[in-house]
C-alpha cells in the first residue's frame, strides 16, 4: 500500500495511565523522584496497529473499556500515545463525547465560529456556511442561546452539523449519534453516505453491530486495549457477538446456583458460529408448504425452516429460533419455539410446550418453524440458534450454538398479479366511496 493512499496510519500505539489509590499518592510519587512507586500502570491500549485508506469507511467495536474512545482521541490528536506513532493525512473532523470542544457559556452561533476556526477556516468561509449549518441543525432560535441550556439532542444536532460542514477529509464519530431522535439519525446517515461517495474517510465507533456491518468495509475489534481482529467488518461483528454471547452465558450459569451444565466444551466455533456448547446445529432446510426444498418464493408463500441439531449433554429449557435478515444486515424477523410457548402459556394458542422437554446426549431433534413469507422482492439470509432459556420469558439466555448465514432464499414478485414496495407485506386494503 502506497503511503499517499493512507489517510491514517497507526503503528504499535500504546497508551498507559497511572492509577493512584489515594490522591496524596500523586504527591508522594512526584517527590520520590522515581525511587518508589505509588501507582499501578494501566494500559488503555497495547501495541495497536492499523492503516486506513483514503476514502475507506472503518469501524471500531469492542466492549466498554476496550480502548475505542482512547484510540479515537489519539487519532484526533487530543491524546498523545505513550509509545508508537500516528500519522494522519488530511483535515480531521471529530464527533466524540457529546458536545466535546464546545464552550458551554458560548452561544451556539459563537461555538460554530469557534469550532470552524479551530479547523482552520476563516471567518468569511464560516459566514458563507453558517446558514447551511444552522438549517441542518434545526434548533431554531436556540442557535443564539448558551449551549449549556441545550438538551442532549440539540447538542448532537449542532455538533454533527458543524462536523460535516467543515469539509473534512476524515470524519471520526464516537457513538454520539445514539442519542439522536430516529429522524435526525436518518438525516445523519444520509449525509454520511453522501460524503462517502465524495471520498470521505470515515472512522466509526458504535455498539450497533448491524450499522457497523452496513456502513463499514473494515473493522477493528478491541478487547482490554488489545487488537483482537482487524479486517472484514462481517467477520469482526461475528467475532464480537461471539464474545458477548459467551460472556453472558457464563454469567447466567454462575447466577443459577453454579448450574453450568451448558458451559461445556463444544466444537470450536468457526467464522459465523459461536456458542458455549451442549447442542450443535447440524443443518437447515428451507422448504415450501408441500415439503420440497426451495430457494425461491413468491410473496406470501408459506416458508418452512427446518432446523436439525444434536444434543451433546443432557439439557432442558431449550429454545430453537431463527433470525431473518436482508443481505445488508437489517433484521426483519426473529421467532422460535419459546415465542410459541409464551403464547401457549398465555392461553392464546393450543399445543405442546417445547420448553418443558428434556433431551439426552446423542438425541437428534428436528424443529420445523413455519412462517408466512410476507417479504418483498429481494434476497434474505437465515441465522439459526439453539439456546437454553433459564427464564420463561427471555430473561436469561445461554446461547449454545448460533450459526450466521446458514441459509439464504430469494423472493420474486409477479408484478402482473400482486405487487407492493418495501421489504415486508402489510396487507394493505383500499376502500372508497364512488
119 shares a domain with 9:
yes
pLDDT higher than 70, residue 180 = no
Q: What is the pLDDT of residue 75?
A: 92
Read off the C-alpha cell for 24: 496524596
Q: What is the domain-level CATH number for residue 109?
A: 3.40.50.300
- Of the two residues 348 and 192, the one the predictor is more confident about is 348
Compute the residue count for the chain: 434
- DSSP secondary structure code for residue 293 in this structure: B
Distance CA(72)–CA(143), nearest Å, equals: 28
Distance CA(202)–CA(229), nearest Å, equals: 19
Distance CA(61)–CA(212), nearest Å, equals: 8
- Of the two residues 303 and 276, the one the predictor is more confident about is 303
Domain assignment present for 428: no
Distance CA(154)–CA(133), nearest Å, equals: 13
Report if pTM > 0.95.
no
275 shares a domain with 216:
no
Cα–Cα nearest to 354, from 390, 320, 383, 384:
320
313 shares a domain with 204:
no
Q: What is the pLDDT of residue 211?
A: 78
3-state secondary structure of 434: coil
Q: What is the pLDDT of residue 252?
A: 64
Domain assignment present for 313: yes
Give mean pLDDT, residues 325-344: 91
Range of the domain at 313: 256-411
Domain assignment present for 8: yes
290 shares a domain with 223:
no
pLDDT higher than 50, residue 192 = yes
Dihedral, 281, 392, 239, 5 alpha carbons, nearest 10: 120
140 shares a domain with 13:
yes
Cα–Cα nearest to 307, from 329, 328, 337, 278:
337
Domain assignment present for 424: no
Give mean pLDDT, residues 406-410: 94
Distance CA(36)–CA(31), nearest Å, equals: 9
114 shares a domain with 25:
yes
**pLDDT tens digits for 84-123?**
999 999 888 887 765 566 888 999 999 999 888 887 788 8
Cα–Cα nearest to 15, from 206, 224, 202:
224
Q: In degrees rounded to 5, what are phi and psi of residue 149?
A: -90, 0
344 shares a domain with 212:
no
Q: What is the pLDDT of residue 37?
A: 74
**pLDDT tens digits for 231-278?**
999 889 888 887 877 776 666 666 655 554 444 444 444 557 888 889
**pLDDT tens digits for 122-157?**
889 999 999 999 998 888 899 999 988 988 788 888
Alpha helices (H) along 52-107? 68-75
Lowest mean pLDDT among 28-42, 179-193, 209-223: 28-42
Distance CA(363)–CA(311), nearest Å, equals: 5
Domain assignment present for 182: yes
Pairing of strands 318-326, 331-336: antiparallel
Show which of 180, 203, 235 is a domain's final residue: 235
Q: What is the mean pLDDT of the chain?
A: 86
130 shares a domain with 33:
yes
Distance CA(291)–CA(131), nearest Å, equals: 62
Q: What is the pLDDT of residue 176?
A: 65
Task: Indicate the angle between helix axes 108-118 and 152-164, nearest 10 degrees.
Answer: 40
Domain assignment present for 137: yes
Q: What is the domain-level CATH number for residue 310?
A: 2.70.50.60
Q: What is the pLDDT of residue 256?
A: 58
Domain assignment present for 434: no
Q: What is the pLDDT of residue 206?
A: 82
The domain total for the chain is 2
276 shares a domain with 223:
no
pLDDT higher than 60, residue 208 = yes
- Work out the pLDDT band at 12, boundaries 50, 70, 90: very high
54 shares a domain with 105:
yes
pLDDT over 70 percentage in the chain: 89
203 shares a domain with 264:
no
- Work out the pLDDT band at 201, boundaries 50, 70, 90: very high
pLDDT higher than 50, residue 183 = yes
Read off the C-alpha cell for 86: 500516528
301 shares a domain with 218:
no
pLDDT higher than 90, residue 18 = no
pLDDT higher than 60, residue 49 = yes
Domain assignment present for 250: no
Please count the CA atoms within 13 angstroms of the CA of 394 that sit on its side-chain side.
11
Burial class (CB in 10 A: 0-12, 13-18, 19+), 191: middle
Amino acid at each position: 500500500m502506497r503511503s499517499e493512499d493512507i489517510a491514517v496510519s497507526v503503528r504499535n500505539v500504546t497508551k498507559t495511565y497511572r492509577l493512584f489509590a489515594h490522591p496524596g499518592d500523586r504527591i508522594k510519587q512526584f517527590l520520590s523522584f522515581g525511587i518508589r512507586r505509588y501507582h499501578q500502570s494501566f494500559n488503555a491500549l497495547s501495541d495497536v496497529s492499523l492503516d486506513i485508506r483514503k476514502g475507506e469507511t472503518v469501524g471500531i467495536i469492542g466492549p466498554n473499556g476496550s480502548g475505542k474512545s482512547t484510540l479515537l482521541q489519539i487519532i484526533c490528536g487530543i491524546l498523545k500515545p505513550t509509545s508508537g506513532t500516528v500519522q494522519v493525512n488530511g483535515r480531521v473532523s471529530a464527533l466524540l463525547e457529546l458536545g466535546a470542544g464546545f464552550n458551554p457559556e458560548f452561544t451556539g452561533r459563537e461555538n460554530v465560529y469557534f469550532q470552524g476556526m479551530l479547523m482552520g477556516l476563516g471567518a468569511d468561509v464560516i459566514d458563507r456556511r453558517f446558514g447551511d449549518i444552522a438549517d441542518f441543525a434545526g434548533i431554531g432560535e436556540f442557535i443564539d442561546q448558551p449551549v449549556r441550556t441545550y438538551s442532549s439532542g440539540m447538542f448532537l444536532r449542532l455538533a454533527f452539523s458543524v462536523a460535516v460542514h467543515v469539509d473534512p477529509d476524515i470524519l471520526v464519530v464516537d457513538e454520539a449519534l445514539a442519542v439522536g431522535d430516529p429522524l435526525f439519525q436518518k438525516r445523519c446517515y444520509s449525509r454520511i453516505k453522501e460524503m462517502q461517495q465524495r471520498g470521505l474517510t470515515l472512522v466509526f465507533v458504535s455498539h450497533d453491530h448491524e450499522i457497523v456491518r452496513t456502513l463499514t468495509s473494515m473493522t477493528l475489534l478491541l478487547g482490554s486495549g488489545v487488537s483482537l481482529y482487524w479486517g472484514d467488518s462481517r467477520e469482526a461483528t461475528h467475532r464480537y457477538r461471539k464474545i458477548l454471547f459467551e460472556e453472558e452465558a457464563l454469567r447466567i450459569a454462575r447466577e443459577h446456583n453454579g448450574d453450568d451444565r451448558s458451559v461445556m466444551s463444544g466444537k470450536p466455533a468457526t467464522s459465523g458460529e459461536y456458542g458455549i456448547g451442549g447442542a450443535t446445529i447440524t443443518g437447515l432446510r428451507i422448504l415450501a408448504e408441500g415439503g420440497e426444498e426451495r430457494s425461491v418464493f413468491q410473496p406470501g408463500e408459506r416458508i418452512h425452516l427446518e432446523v436439525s441439531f444434536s444434543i451433546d449433554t443432557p439439557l432442558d429449557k431449550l429454545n430453537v429460533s431463527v433470525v431473518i435478515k436482508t443481505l445488508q444486515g437489517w433484521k426483519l424477523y426473529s421467532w422460535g419455539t419459546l415465542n410459541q410457548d409464551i403464547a401457549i402459556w398465555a392461553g392464546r394458542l393450543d399445543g405442546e410446550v417445547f420448553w418443558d422437554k428434556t433431551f439426552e446426549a446423542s438425541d437428534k431433534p428436528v424443529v420445523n418453524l413455519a412462517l408466512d413469507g410476507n417479504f418483498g422482492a429481494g434476497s434474505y439470509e437465515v441465522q439459526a440458534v439453539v439456546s437454553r432459556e433459564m427464564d420463561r420469558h427471555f430473561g436469561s439466555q445461554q446461547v449454545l450454538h448460533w450459526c450466521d448465514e446458514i441459509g439464504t432464499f430469494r423472493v420474486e414478485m409477479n408484478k402482473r398479479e400482486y405487487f407492493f414496495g418495501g421489504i415486508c407485506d402489510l396487507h394493505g386494503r383500499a376502500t372508497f366511496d364512488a
